[in-house]
Amino acid sequence: IAGITQAPTSQILAAGRRMTLRCTQDMRHNAMYWYRQDLGLGLRLIHYSNTAGTTGKGEVPDGYSVSRANTDDFPLTLASAVPSQTSVYFCASSRTSGNTDTQYFGPGTWLTVL
Amino acid sequence: KQEVTQIPAALSVPEGENLVLNCSFTDSAIYNLQWFRQDPGKGLTSLLLIQSSQREQTSGRLNASLDKSSGRSTLYIAASQPGDSATYLCAVNSGGSNYKLTFGKGTLLTVNP
């Protein structure tokens, strides 16, 4: 069982380009999340999905979009990347969106926007 | 708005020492609190989750306590080992419509052989 996989591992991207970060989980978890981690700011929630077919905005959603077509996949898209989106991006999942469940994290994607 | 603070920001101890990491939060209306470990260049590994109705959780050499009324949690690591060196993150689940975890900035722990 792989848990959560993210791709790519790292990417250097020119400003203005479109980029999709991929996230796949094999735990059949209903809820999935995208966070970004920045030095001095910690981890912040970008978007979340309580179950397939639904998505919601987190703390810092601007410039990002997500979709949840099925249970396993939760891609994050930067429509037109800007340098302030340089960050480490973590995908996470939990069994349900209930408040008692542990969130499990993927290995991260290191993104640099120039 | 929930705020989570972790003190100290960095800690260096000799191998074998028992140590305590601290986490405080401003809004005591939480559902649970989770402790994570993050190794350099890696993702987060969940260590312990304490529900709001619980006082503590234990896993091996780790013991996490929760005092919701005072807005505090501690992570106790017994008999520290060099392999415990990592950043430890505290995250609070305050519930609400977006099931958001609010993270502290972490404590960087170094255990010296």
If you average pLDDT over every residue of chain B, what do you get? 93
Q: How far apart are CA B101 and CA B81, in angstroms?
A: 29
- On whether any CB of chain A is under 8 Å from the CB of B44, the answer is yes
Q: How far apart are CA A87 and CA A38, in angstroms?
A: 6
Task: Write the DSSP symbol of residue A99.
Answer: T
From B43, B51, B93, residue closest to A107, measured CB to CB: B43
Contact flag B43-A56 (C-beta cutoff 8 Å): no
Q: How far apart are CA A101 and CA B51, in angstroms?
A: 9
Residues of chain A contacting residue B97, judged by C-beta atoms under 8 Å apart: 56
pLDDT at residue A36, as a whole number: 97
pLDDT at residue A11, as a whole number: 96
Alpha carbon of A18: minimum distance to chain B alpha carbons (Å) = 24
Residues B61-99 have pLDDT tens digits of: 999 999 999 999 999 999 999 999 999 999 998 876 556
pLDDT at residue B99, as a whole number: 60
- On whether any CB of chain A is under 8 Å from the CB of B104, the answer is yes
CA distances in angstroms from B19 to A91, B44, B62, listed in the order given: 30, 21, 10
Amino acid identity, residue A110?
A: W
Q: Is B15 helix (H, G, I), strand (E, B) or coil?
A: coil
Instruction: Provide the pairing of β-strand B101-103 with B56-59.
Output: unpaired
Residues of chain B contacting residue A99, judged by C-beta atoms under 8 Å apart: 31-32, 93, 95, 99
Residues B19-32 have pLDDT tens digits of: 999 999 999 888 89
Contact flag A43-B103 (C-beta cutoff 8 Å): yes
- On whether any CB of chain B is under 8 Å from the CB of A99, the answer is yes
Instruction: Provide the pairing of β-strand A31-38 with B4-7.
Output: unpaired
| B88, closest residue in chain A (CA to CA) | A42
Residues A29-57 have pLDDT tens digits of: 999 999 999 988 889 999 999 999 999 99
Asked if A50 and A97 count as a contact pair (C-beta separation under 8 A), the reply is yes
